[in-house]
Amino acid sequence: MRFETLAVHTGGEPDAETGAIAPPIHLSSTFRHSPDGVHPGELLYQREDNPTQRRLEAALAALEGGARALFYGSGLAACSAALHAYWREDARLVMQNDCYAGFQAQVRHYAQRWGWRVDAVDLADPEAARTALARPATLVWAETPSNPLLRIVDLAALSELAHAAGARLLVDGTFATPALQQPLALGADSVLHSATKYMGGHSDVLGGVLVFAEDGAAARNAFYARELVGLAASPFAAWLVLRGLRSLAPRMRAHCQGARAVARFLAQRPEVEAVHYPGLPEAAGHALAGRQMSDFGGMLSFTLRGGREAALAVAGALVLFVNATSLGGCESLVEHRRSVEGAHPRSPENLLRLSIGLEHPDDLVADLAQALERAR
Ligand code: PLP
């Protein structure tokens, strides 16, 4: 079955009790024990498992081609579960240097305090990846396309390097979603998503996803992280993300179409220094993204010749684009990433990140045109 069809149907069996087509939301925190006091394979307590989340996890495993999917209270909760899943004494983490700032902070606050050795390298540079993985490692953490520079990592090549170094490869595929990129088919061991973004799709739910290629020790540990560290989501969040999955494929097509139009427009503006969008033929990762992804995604960033002041002025002059963090919703967002990166900023001062929503691309281009004029 094709992705679009799976996305509409998996985990969507009509409710056995009522025949309802939309799945019920089971909010019960606890489930009745069987008369003999055990519950083999059955439900016990919401934090471990619940019927609404089961439907979502069945859909996620099918959409990623994985053996086991787990849903968490946020994308960062899924990151934390992954660190627990792969934890080992004397662990070495090789991570993408351009990746979600919140995960970098989580690594500083936890993984490094737990004694993990951490090397942050540009995994989009094959030579840097090869050098970093010439030594044994425990976990390789790739984000592609990356946040906020839209770097593209060669997942098939990286999975070989990671495995040769004795490591597991986890891919944060939040920007691409399974509609555009299938990391497990390229050799990754697990995939992570902030479901808060495109999966939910409407800027109204927090959630995180881990999908494992094998239902083995790492998946079990990730499940325990939900049960014992308590990283659980609410059933209502699971329900909203499941609903979002139904329309993920056509929404992604529209996000990609809009981003392509905006990137092309920005690339020919004199005020713009550089556009980071893998869909542009001149982009560094264009050919690789063309092989590894079915389209180039709805995220892009660009730098302005006028520096920080120009970037802030453009963000402030936009009308349709809302100046806010996050991504993947129906409405287009703009963000000066540097301003929200706290004590360890990495983004250039003159960079703006755009999440292209579902508005007509012509209106988005017109909004950017007037903002660039006003900010001169
Ligand atoms: N991964 C990426 C690539 C993200 O952009 C984000 C959030 O922006 C996260 C993970 C964390 O997700 P959440 O905000 O749902 O905790």
Q: Is the CB of 144 under 6 A from ligand 1?
A: no
Instruction: Look up residue 187 and give its two tokens.
Output: 């050799």
Per-residue pLDDT band for 376 (boundaries 50, 70, 90) equals confident
DSSP conformation letters of 64-122: HT-SEEEEESSHHHHHHHHHHHH--TT-EEEEESSS-HHHHHHIIIIITTTT-EEEEE-
Residue nearest to atom 11 of ligand 1 (CA): 75
Dump pLDDT digits (tens) for 192-213.
999 999 999 999 999 999 999 9
- Active site (annotated) includes residue 197: yes
How much is the pLDDT for 27? 97
Q: Is the CB of 64 under 6 A from ligand 1?
A: no
- Active site (annotated) includes residue 100: yes
Q: Which residues contact 279 (CB under 8 A, 6 or more apart)?
A: 256, 259, 260, 263, 286, 289, 295, 296, 297
| 76 and 208 Cβ atoms separated by less than 8 Å | yes
How much is the pLDDT for 40? 62
| Ligand 1: centre distance to CA 327 (Å) | 9
| Ligand 1: centre distance to CA 215 (Å) | 24
| 209 and 70 Cβ atoms separated by less than 8 Å | yes
Query: Quick count: other Cβ atoms within 10 Å of Cβ 4?
Result: 15
CA distances from 211 to 27, 220, 290 (A): 24, 12, 24
Choose, from 54, 68, 98, 100, the residue flagged as catalytic. Answer: 100
Q: Is the CB of 335 under 6 A from ligand 1?
A: no
CA–CA gap between residue 259 and residue 6 (Å, rounded): 25
Q: pTM of the full predicted structure?
A: 0.97
Closest CA to 97 of 127, 134, 141: 141
CA–CA gap between residue 376 and residue 374 (Å, rounded): 6
How much is the pLDDT for 152? 98
Residue nearest to atom 14 of ligand 1 (CA): 75
Query: Quick count: other Cβ atoms within 10 Å of Cβ 18?
Result: 8
Instruction: Look up residue 170 and give its two tokens.
Output: 């986890």
Q: Is the CB of 137 under 6 A from ligand 1?
A: no
| Ligand 1: centre distance to CA 367 (Å) | 27
Closest CA to 323 of 305, 307, 337, 344: 337
- Active site (annotated) includes residue 47: yes
Q: What is residue 217's three-state secondary structure? A: helix
Task: Please state, rounded to an integer, the average pLDDT across all residues of the chain.
Answer: 96
Per-residue pLDDT band for 290 (boundaries 50, 70, 90) equals very high
